Structure formats: C-alpha cells, structure tokens
Amino acid sequence: MDDRYSRQVLFRPIGREGQQRLAAARVVIVGMGALGTVLATQLVRAGVGFLRLVDRDIIEPSNLQRQTLYDEEDAELGRAKAEAAAQKLQAANRDVQIEAVIEDLTWRNAKKWLADVDVIVDGTDNFQVRYLMNDVAVQYGIPWSYGGAVSSYGTTAFFRPLQTACLTCLFGSDGDVGGHDTCDTVGVIAPVVAIIASLQVAEILKYLTGNLAALSNALMHVNVWDNEFRSVQLSPPKTDCPCCQLRQFQSLEARTDGLTVSLCGRRTIQVRPESSLQVSLEAMAERLSRLGQVRHNAHLLRCDFGDVQLTLFADGRALIHGVDDSAKARSLYARYVGM
C-alpha cells in the first residue's frame, strides 16, 4: 500500500484511512463498453477491494476506438468483454478481487448481481437496465452512479436513496427509453467518455472514503466539442415518487423479458429466450461446424456463416451479427440454435 497508493494517500481527503476504506469496498459495474473500461481501470488502480464486471457483449473492431482495455487480438477472437476486462485489470492490480459475469442484466438476476455491494455503477447505454439498477439501489439503500455519453456530450449523477432524487424522480416511471441519440445514430468520441467516467469515479471515491460533504449532489452535463460544462443540483426525493417513496419497483416486478434488442454501434441484434436455457457449447459447436467456421471456449461460441455471424452463450442468449431486423434475427436464431 505504501508504494502503490502513495500519491493517493498523500491526497489529504483520502489519506491512509480512506485508502483502507477503499480496500474494504465492494463495487459492481454494469456494462464494460466505453464508460465501463475507463471506470474499471480507475477503480482497480485506486485500490477498490472487490469489483464485479457485468456485461453481455463481445469485443468487436469498432469498440477499439474508445474501449480502452481491449486490443486487436481481443476483437479478432470476439472475446467476451467481462472476461477480457477482468484479465487485463487483474494484471494491473493483483490485490483486487475481480469477478466477471457474462450475462444480460434482467429482473431475473438484478438482485443477485447488484444487491451485495457498496456502490452500483452504470456503464451501459440502456435506460431499461438503468431502471433496474435504480430499483435495486432504492430497495436495498445502495448509492449508484449514473453515466451516459454519446456524440461529444454526456451526463452523470450520483444517486443516494432517500438523500437525493432517484432516477424515477427525474424521468418518471416510463423513463427515457426511446427517441434519444445513440452511438449508432450520431457516433461518439473518446474524450467525452473519459471525462464522464472520470467524473463518476470522483464521486464514487468521495463516497467510499467517507467524504460525503464533497459530493456534488448534481446532474452534471459536459459537451467537449461545444465547450459546455454545467450542472443542475439534484432535488430531494419527490414526495409522490412511485419508486423511492411509494416503493413500487416496476422494473423488477414487471417480470417480462424482451426477446430482441438492437445493440449500439453496429448491425447486431441480441436474441434472448423467454426462459434461461443451459446450452452445451461443445455439442453446438460440433453441430454448427458443418455450416460455418466455429470457435468456442467455456463462455461462448462464435460461428461465421459468411454474411451473418452468430455468438451464442451458455444460457441460450445469442448475438446475431450482420442483421438489423428483429424478425430476421429471430428466424436465424431458430434456424441455427433450434430453440
């Protein structure tokens, strides 16, 4: 500790006591894309004791422009993001306990992966998942860090249940789940990602080291291209908020699974069965090897059919690459996976 964290310990608001608090802290990051890779890198190097990485996706060449933990070999092999990130991060700090979870966060598993930590961290690009995080955070009294970045702008806030407004207080029960910019429609540049993630980590470090008076308690917005930096103070919880006041956890209680979802930045559709399946990737690899080039490991299988590629996970979830139509993706899933 004396050597590795010496410069951080010299920072008086953290000091030795704060560093010890970090070593005892447990954090989960949902989403190991652009934001997630910066978030995880900074938290691991800061000495957070336990870090869980939850991500459903694999690494592709278009990720390398901004997802700083990955390299060309990772993209060529189509490695799972959570697995590759855990390996790179462990090499940076072997004292941190790192857990990789290669799953889609849903109402089925949200409590399992989010309810046993000190801080929940958002690295996603999906408001439906953010509402799940908000529900778990409020139900269990866990602070969580919201972050989003697209094009050249981004927004972040650090929510503390019953201390600040929650996500539902700000956006309502239905939320901002559609009609907004995505990296697929307007792109994204790396500088705004790094800034938003760094602002998130600063608030997380304040909280974990006990510097609560230093928390911004604000919704912060940055546009690096237009040189905009502004913040709006978070209001107290709304007295009629269905989530944090009436304790109606709609995302957790909806108990519905979307069958398909388009992933940001490329022609890829995720297909998820209505109920979790246990797929033998080895048997599936043998079956699909007659139809295309197959690679697989303990976590996933990837088959290249030419114009279309399939990535299949052990729980039956699949990514269909090379399509942008949900109906076609479901048809290909039925054709190749047969479930």
Which DSSP state fits 117?
S
DSSP track, 302-324: EEE-SS-EEEEETTS-EEEET--
Q: What φ, ψ does residue 270 adopt, rounded to 5°?
A: -90, 135
Write down the H helix ranges in the chain: 6-10, 15-24, 34-46, 72-77, 81-92, 110-114, 127-140, 167-171, 183-186, 190-208, 250-253, 281-288, 326-336
Catalytic-role residue among 183, 243, 244, 264: 183
Phi-psi region of 7 (alpha: psi -120 to 50; beta: other; left: phi over 0): alpha
Continuous segment of H or E residues that includes residue 231: strand 228-233
Q: Smallest Cα–Cα separation from 172: which of 132, 133, 131, 205?
A: 131
What is the token pair recorded at 322? 């090379």
Q: What is the spatial distance between Cα 201 and Cα 30, in angstroms, rounded to a whole number?
A: 14
Angstrom distance (rounded) from CA 279 to CA 11: 50
Full strand arrangement of the beta sheet holding 260-262? 260-262, 268-271, 318-321, 309-313, 300-304, 293-296
Other Cβ atoms less than 10 A from the Cβ of 201: the count is: 22
Q: 289 forms bridges with which residues in the sheet?
A: none
Q: To which residue do tokens 């938290």 refer?
A: 43
Cα dist from 51 to 43, 117, 190, 209, 297, whole Å:
8, 9, 23, 16, 23
Is 241 in the active site?
A: no
Whose structure tokens read 């447990």? 26
User: Which amino acids are annotated catalytic?
Assistant: 183
